[in-house]
Amino acid sequence: MRFWIGFAALFLAVPGFARSYHLVLDPPAGGKLLKGYGGLQAADQRTARALVRVITPGNDVDRRGTVRVVVMNLGVSPFTFGPQHVTLRLGDGTILAPTPLREFARGAMLIERESGRAAIVDRANRNSFSSLARASNSGMTAATPGVSAPAGTQPTQVQGQDHRSDLLMLPGGRTLDAIYQLLTLQTVEPQQAWGGYYVFDVPKPVQNRRVDQPLSIIVRTGREQHSFPAVLHWK
């Protein structure tokens, strides 16, 4: 259990104080700003060649934060897009560098291994439950040797239920799902979209300022550059 909590803390922005930073978007030049529940915001910019959407989840930002970036290729030529095409720059020039993907890759391997073991146990439990349901349907007890449901037996309500555990309910499943949504480098073909979570580290001096700090989120799509004004808001 400690492993799952520790790795979740590696990915998610976990507040270290009663007050913390929040990444807040300003209306982009020539674009749209949408606001959702819990502080979620989304800003769009569109040109003849690309549509770019930046989404801030509204969660706390302490030593680490997240922003989701999605692009759509509206041009006629493909371009590559990944974390190296996103830059978060504070007003004083400080760059909030991306968290190396290798940190998450190592954790993902451990989670996949442990989740695989949990899935095997879960599958065995489900098979045992199915055998019990078939035995009950035949009017015999589960302890009767060689019992199986007669041919043509209609499935009972219990048999018709889906007993498969959702992957997200297995140990580390939700963290693994979040890792799969990280922004990685891909080629974006015309009329195709790509994006994911950009996870960034906050330097200690920036954490210690505890005041609002202007921020620019810069997204590059091919030869174009899109700038989204924002604030690292101390709340």
Per-residue confidence (pLDDT) for residue 29, from 0 to 100: 80
Q: Please tell me the class of the 12-102+182-234 domain.
A: mainly beta
Per-residue confidence (pLDDT) for residue 216, from 0 to 100: 97
Per-residue confidence (pLDDT) for residue 2, from 0 to 100: 41
Per-residue confidence (pLDDT) for residue 30, from 0 to 100: 76
What is the reported pTM?
Answer: 0.67
Q: Give the residue ranges of the chain where pLDDT is below 70.
A: 1-18, 103-180
- Residue 207, C-beta contacts closer than 8 angstroms, at least 6 positions apart: 21, 62, 63
Per-residue confidence (pLDDT) for residue 138, from 0 to 100: 52
DSSP secondary structure of 135-195:
HHHTTS-TTSTT--PPTTPPPPHHHHS--PPPGGGSTTHHHHHHHHTB---EEE-TT-EEE
Every domain of the chain and the residues it spans:
12-102+182-234, 104-174
Per-residue confidence (pLDDT) for residue 31, from 0 to 100: 77
Per-residue confidence (pLDDT) for residue 76, from 0 to 100: 96
Per-residue confidence (pLDDT) for residue 175, from 0 to 100: 54
Per-residue confidence (pLDDT) for residue 222, from 0 to 100: 95
Per-residue confidence (pLDDT) for residue 96, from 0 to 100: 96
Per-residue confidence (pLDDT) for residue 109, from 0 to 100: 53
